[in-house]
């Protein structure tokens, strides 16, 4: 009988430790915020779509937060034909697929823009323009940054995605470094 009691007491302690470990792990993972996925779409599960006049994916994430049916969302940037940005709310969590057209996330996910050294995502630097030009289809902020780096008069640049300043993407080369302002659809950087 003594051995039986010792085994039960030992098992009770092991179970208590296991429950404590699971609780701590769940708290640790719960404190890590969910993040939206830039350059991914989640096709399917749509029950509602709405134009996003601001062109800001954060507005789409907020729309999902405010709707109890929403489990995930996808934000489509404005298209080159002049169509508005669109927010798609979903009642499921479809698998993600790569797509530069979109940002997607699950309910509770804020929009976290990628951090690339020397590039400011969702930032405009209005004013101080040296010149601006259209960016060819298929080229992005890298081409704009390269144009600024190649021009000795250029100190900073701002790249606007298609649909934000016109049908085509546009590069603004800056002769002065102006203060940054948050603006969806724009990418900036200081070169010199």
Q: In angstroms, rounded to a whole number, what is the distance separating the alpha carbons of residues 62 and 111? A: 10
Domains present along the chain, CATH in parentheses = 37-106 (3.50.4.10), 120-190 (3.50.4.10)
Q: What is the rounded average pLDDT of the residues 99-128?
A: 84
Q: In angstroms, rounded to a whole number, what is the distance separating the alpha carbons of residues 173 and 149? A: 10
Tell me the pLDDT of the chain averaged across its residues: 83
pLDDT at 22: 44
pLDDT at 27: 38
Q: What is the DSSP letter of 13?
A: H
Spatial strand order of the sheet with 181-190 comes to: 120-124, 181-190, 156-160, 170-174, 129-134
Q: What is the rounded average pLDDT of the residues 109-137?
A: 85
Distances from the Cα of 116 to the Cαs of 38, 53, 142, 188, 189, in angstroms?
13, 27, 11, 11, 10
Closest CA to 183 of 169, 162, 164, 155: 164
Residue 101 confidence (pLDDT) above 80: yes
Q: In angstroms, rounded to a whole number, what is the distance separating the alpha carbons of residues 136 and 148? A: 16
Residue 4 confidence (pLDDT) above 70: no
Structure tokens at 80: 């080159």
Its pTM stands at 0.70
Q: What is the pLDDT of residues 137-168, one digit of tens each?
A: 778 899 999 999 999 999 999 999 988 998 88
More confident call, 49 vs 30: 49
Structure tokens at 58: 């954060």
DSSP reduced 3-state for 66: coil
Q: What is the pLDDT of residues 6-46, one digit of tens each?
A: 566 665 665 555 544 444 444 333 333 445 688 899 999 99
Residues 6+ apart with CB under 8 A from 45: 71, 72, 90, 91, 92, 93, 94
Candidate from 19-33, 70-84, 89-103 with smallest mean pLDDT: 19-33
């Amino acid at each position: 009988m003594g051995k039986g009691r010792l085994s039960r007491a030992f098992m009770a302690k092991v179970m208590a430790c296991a429950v404590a470990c699971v609780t701590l792990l769940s708290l640790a993972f719960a404190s890590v915020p969910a993040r939206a996925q830039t350059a991914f779409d989640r096709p399917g599960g749509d029950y509602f779509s709405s134009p996003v006049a601001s062109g800001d994916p954060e507005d789409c994430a907020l729309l999902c937060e405010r709707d109890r049916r929403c489990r995930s969302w996808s934000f489509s940037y404005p298209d080159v034909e002049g169509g508005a940005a669109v927010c798609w709310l979903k009642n499921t969590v479809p698998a993600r697929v790569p797509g530069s057209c979109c940002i997607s996330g699950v309910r509770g996910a804020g929009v976290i823009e990628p951090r690339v050294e020397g590039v400011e995502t969702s930032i405009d630097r209005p004013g101080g323009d040296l010149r601006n030009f259209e960016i060819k289809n298929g080229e992005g902020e890298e081409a704009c940054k390269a144009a600024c780096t190649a021009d000795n008069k250029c100190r900073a640049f701002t790249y606007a995605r298609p649909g934000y300043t016109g049908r085509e993407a546009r590069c603004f080369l800056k002769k002065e470094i102006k203060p940054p302002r948050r603006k969806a659809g724009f990418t900036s950087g200081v070169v010199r």
